[in-house]
Every structure is written in C-alpha cells, then in structure tokens.
Amino acid sequence: MRKAVLIISIVFFLLLLIKSASAKQEKTGRTEKDTLIDAKYGYELRVLSNWKIQLEKEPSLVRSTITKKNYQANKASTMFEEERLIPTIIICADTTSLSLPEIENSLIQGKGTFRNKDEYLMKLDAIASYELIKTGDIALDSIKGKIYGYKKSYLRQVIDPSARYGPEGTTSVTKEDYFLGEVVVLKKGINLYLIQFTDESEYFSTDEDEFSRILQTWKFLK
C-alpha cells in the first residue's frame, strides 16, 4: 500500500514538473512569416520586412518588442561613439474593468492608480519620462482609441562645421536634440492595449511612417 502511494506521489510530482516546464516555455504569441499573432489578447498585425519581432515568455504585460533592423545612424554618432536609440515598438496588453477614460486619466495624466500601473510605467518610458506634447484620435480595426505624442530633450555631440583646427570633421560641439515617441491606448471589451513607438528626432518622420503602416494592419481576431 505504501509502495503504491509512493509511486502515485512520484508520478504526480513528475506531472507537476512537466506542466511547470511547459508553462515556462509558453510564448506571448506566435509568428507566421511577417505576421504577429497574439491569441490570448485576440489580435494580429503584419510587420515590415526590415523590422524584427521578439516575443516574451508568459506571463508578461509586454507581449512583443519590434525593432528596426537596418536603421540609420548619423556620422557624428558613429564618430563620437554615442549610442543610437534604436527605433522600437513595444506592445503591451492586459485585462481591466476600468473604462478607457479612467485608464487615460490615471496612466497619462497621473491621477490615481490601477492594477499594473507601475509596471506599465516601467516598460513604457515615453509615458514615464518624456514630455507629453500632443493628443489625437486613432482607430485600429474600427476600434477607437487615443494616440499621444511625446518628446525628451538630451545633449549630443555633433561635428562643428566652423572648426578651423584639428583633423577635418573631428571637432565637436554640443547641441540639444530630442527623442520622440508615440503611445496608442485603446480598449476592446475587457482587453487593454498600449503600443509605444520611440525613435530619434532626426529619423522619426521616416520611421514613424513605417510604424503607422504596421498599425494599419492591426486586426482583432473574431
């Protein structure tokens, strides 16, 4: 009898280990060629060929991070060994009983709190540390939401065009520049979606156009 109980206990323990290992390997979605599919939160979108999709392990508020592969870097950044902000799209999703205006009031305006607010702020640096500069309306697959524009100033080294000494093009001056970002917030049923795009101001116009083209492919799964 004791032997049977022991065997059953061992089998049960092994099943738990297998289930735990399987859960650890589960991803936040799947990719089919250039399409990202998140069945848990019911959406898919197509990604341009020069962008790379990185999925997360469940459970995760961040569903995927999409980065541009062949991004530009100006001559000064390379010469003075400054880091280039890689054009990046971060998609977050969660469930909530709060309305979209309530989420916006808390997360964007900083009034009040809600579940996972701190984690959103940790993952979406545009909301947490950039300056809000504009607000607009947007719709993804006919679901209406809001889009917010952000900027963050920083100092960078640039080549001094008026330099009269030293090897040509190696003298630098300091100038103010900006990181720019956009955050889309929308809700379908109980599902909340936040999508952040960030880039350097010099390349923002071109890369933001690609971001918009990616967003236009967003579809909710029926």
- Three-state DSSP at 24 gives helix
Q: How far is CA 65 from the centre of its chain?
A: 5
**Position 21 confidence tier, pLDDT thresholds 50, 70, 90:** very low
| Cα R_g (the chain), whole angstroms | 23
Residues 97-106: tens digit of each pLDDT: 999 999 999 9
For residue 110, the number of C-alpha atoms closer than 13 Å in the C-beta half-sphere is: 6
Percentage of the chain exceeding pLDDT 70:
78
Task: Indicate whether 163 pLDDT > 70.
Answer: no
- Three-state DSSP at 205 gives helix
182 φ, ψ (degrees, to nearest 5): -135, 140
Residues 36-95: tens digit of each pLDDT: 999 999 999 999 999 999 999 999 999 999 999 988 876 555 555 667 799 999 999 999
User: Rounded mean pLDDT of 124-141?
Assistant: 98
- Cα–Cα separations (whole angstroms), residue 207 to 88, 98, 149, 183: 9, 32, 14, 15
Q: What local confidence, expressed as pLDDT, does residue 57 receive?
A: 97
Task: Indicate whether 169 pLDDT > 70.
Answer: no
Burial pattern 10-38, b for ≥16 Cβ within 10 A else e, equals: eeeeeeeeeeeeeeeeeebbeeeeeebeb
Task: Indicate whether 18 pLDDT > 90.
Answer: no
Domains of the chain: 27-220 (3.40.1000.10)
Whole-model pTM? 0.84
